């Protein structure tokens, strides 16, 4: 699962532009957060925490790219 984030991260860092929709990734973060609270057992919690961290990191990268692109346009 984590490996699937690498192509997206690589593409975004190479192109220096956000190629992803915020709405989709925010919904994925919300789903991971809900699963974290609904999980029973440590392994399910580990998977949910991993999803929250990976999705959150991707959202932060997307936000950083958007901010840098807006600053460069000004």
Q: How confident is the model at residue 10 (pLDDT cuts 50, 70, 90)?
A: confident
**Per-residue model confidence (pLDDT) at position 4:** 85
Q: What is the pLDDT of residue 42?
A: 93
Average pLDDT of the chain, as a whole number: 91
| Phi-psi category of residue 41: left, alpha or beta, with phi > 0 → left and psi -120 to 50 → alpha | left
Give the pTM.
0.85
3: confidence class by pLDDT, cuts 50, 70, 90: confident
What does the pLDDT average to over 49-71?
93
């Amino acid at each position: 699962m984590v490996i699937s984030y690498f192509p997206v991260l690589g593409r975004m860092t190479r192109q220096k532009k956000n190629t992803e929709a915020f709405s989709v990734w925010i919904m994925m973060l919300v789903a991971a957060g809900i699963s974290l609270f609904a999980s029973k057992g440590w392994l399910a919690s580990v998977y949910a925490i991993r999803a929250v961290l990976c999705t959150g990191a991707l959202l932060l990268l997307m936000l950083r790219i958007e901010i840098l692109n807006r600053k460069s346009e000004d």
